[in-house]
């Protein structure tokens, strides 16, 4: 294994990597990662997946900004950005093609696909023996109605949702949501009630960020209501990582094959933590505000170590041709 050059001392052995950032916004994460990658000695081209192309005139079959007829040694996917079904399929196809061409992609397109689709992630958690809330996903209104009849109240989530958007509580009285609002797939999960502090309900869940098979940091998110995403107004609170949290978060990342991930955990009434969901492109601004761990730098270092180890990066002297 080749060692990385130390502390920004770029040499002709330095990896030249690409960082795919969000199209609009996301400047905070983009600049932190770019700086961290540079500080660890890499040459960095920061761009978006939208700027990439397939091109039969190119030696590599692709046009990647900053890489004339060459490919990067590694690709850090901070975001694939929102888009139409065709745009997302195309951007994932670029990531698949980069991997198939020997580029170390962090997280790989297959991982992003498994995490974006909440039903696949839940299936994989369950298959790996991780505790999850009771969940059913189907296109069938009869199955969904039966699940509601027996396990109400439920949480209904958009299959491809994030940041708490479109998450709703349903019960016998409300009935099933309009299938149009869910793109015709019911992802239904048993509602986990808040814990009780005297007579005051405590709305909280836990977010753990995992990188290269180890937990980096955790926070509790305390909300005014039951949807405790920071984006929905919940407040990050510092917590020490427990063994239970670490094992579940690392297990969840392993279940989907993620290089790095944000894992949401929620406490069942019996006190046991359950794996709620996983995010393959997690934001960490909220978590950074309550931890001393330099999350961006840790992620950058783990990524660059993987790039160096990757057999696709055989010759770091010249980017993959």
Ligand X SMILES: Nc1ncnc2c1ncn2[C@@H]1O[C@H](COP(=O)(O)OP(=O)(O)O)[C@@H](O)[C@H]1O
Residue 26 contact among ligand X, Mg ion, none, beta carbon within 5 to 8 Å by kind? none
Task: Give the residue with the Cβ less far from ligand X, 163 or 309.
Answer: 163
- What six digits make up the tokens of 150? 């027996």
User: Is the omega angle on the peptide bond into residue 153 within 30 degrees of 0, that is, cis?
Assistant: yes
Q: Does 157 bind ligand X (CB under 6 A)?
A: yes
Q: Does 276 bind ligand X (CB under 6 A)?
A: yes
Binding ligand X by CB under 6 A: which of 167, 182, 208, 316? 167
CA distance 276 to 39: 35
CA distance 46 to 174: 47
Residue 228 contact among ligand X, Mg ion, none, beta carbon within 5 to 8 Å by kind? ligand X
Binding Mg ion by CB under 5 A: which of 108, 264, 298, 302? 264
- What six digits make up the tokens of 226? 């039951």
Q: Could you tell me how many residues of this chain bind Mg ion (CB under 5 A)? A: 2
| 218-257: contacts with ligand X (CB under 6 A) | 226-229
- Is residue 136 classed as helix, strand or coil in its secondary structure? strand
Is the distance from CB of 117 to CB of 125 less than 8 angstroms?
no
* Look-up of token digits 């060692």: 3
Q: Does 284 bind ligand X (CB under 6 A)?
A: no
Task: Give the residue with the Cβ less far from Mg ion, 228 or 291.
Answer: 228
Residue 163 contact among Mg ion, ligand X, none, beta carbon within 5 to 8 Å by kind? ligand X
Residue 205 contact among ligand X, Mg ion, none, beta carbon within 5 to 8 Å by kind? ligand X
* Look-up of token digits 């770019």: 34
Residue 155 contact among Mg ion, ligand X, none, beta carbon within 5 to 8 Å by kind? ligand X
- Is residue 185 classed as helix, strand or coil in its secondary structure? coil
Q: Does 163 bind ligand X (CB under 6 A)?
A: yes
- Is residue 16 classed as helix, strand or coil in its secondary structure? strand
Over the window 38 to 77, marking each residue x when it contacts ligand X by CB under 6 A and - when it does not, the resulting string is ----------------------------------------
What are the distances in angstroms from CA 138 to CA 126, 147, 186, 316?
Answer: 17, 11, 5, 47
Q: Does 264 bind ligand X (CB under 6 A)?
A: yes
In the sheet with 104-106, reading across from the earlier edge strand, the strands are 43-47, 16-20, 74-77, 104-106
Question: Quick one: which of 297, 280, 278 has its CA closest to 288?
Answer: 297
Task: Give the residue with the Cβ less far from ligand X, 4 or 204.
Answer: 204
Chain residues binding ligand X by CB under 6 A are 133, 155, 157, 161-165, 167, 189-192, 205, 226-229, 264, 266, 276-277
């Amino acid at each position: 294994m080749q060692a990385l050059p130390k502390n920004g001392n770029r040499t002709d052995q330095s990896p030249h990597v690409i960082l795919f950032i969000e199209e609009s916004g996301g400047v905070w994460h983009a600049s932190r990662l770019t700086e961290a990658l540079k500080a660890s000695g890499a040459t960095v081209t920061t761009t978006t997946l939208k700027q990439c192309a397939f091109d039969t005139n190119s030696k590599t079959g692709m046009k990647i900004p900053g890489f004339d007829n060459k490919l990067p040694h590694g690709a850090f996917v901070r975001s694939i950005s929102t888009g139409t079904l065709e745009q997302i399929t195309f951007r994932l196809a670029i990531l698949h093609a980069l991997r198939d061409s020997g580029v170390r992609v962090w997280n790989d397109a297959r991982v992003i696909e498994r995490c974006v689709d909440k039903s696949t992630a839940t299936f994989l958690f369950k298959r790996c023996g991780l505790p999850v809330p009771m969940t059913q996903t189907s296109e069938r209104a009869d199955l969904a109605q039966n699940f509601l009849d027996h396990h109400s109240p439920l949480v209904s989530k958009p299959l491809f949702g994030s940041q708490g958007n479109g998450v709703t509580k349903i019960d016998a009285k409300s009935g099933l949501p309009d299938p149009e609002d869910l793109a015709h797939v019911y992802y239904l999960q048993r509602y986990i009630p808040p814990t009780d502090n005297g007579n005051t309900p405590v709305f909280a869940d836990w977010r753990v960020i995992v990188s290269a098979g180890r937990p980096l940091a955790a926070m509790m998110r305390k909300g005014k209501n039951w949807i405790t995403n920071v984006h929905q107004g919940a407040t990050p609170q510092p917590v020490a990582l427990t063994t239970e949290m670490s094992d579940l978060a690392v297990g969840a990342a392993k279940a989907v094959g993620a290089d790095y991930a944000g894992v949401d955990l929620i406490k069942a009434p019996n006190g046991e933590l359950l794996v709620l969901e996983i995010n393959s492109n997690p934001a960490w601004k909220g978590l950074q505000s309550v931890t001393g761990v330099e999350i961006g730098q840790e992620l950058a270092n783990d990524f660059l170590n993987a790039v160096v180890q990757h057999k696709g990066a055989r010759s770091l002297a010249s980017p993959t041709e």
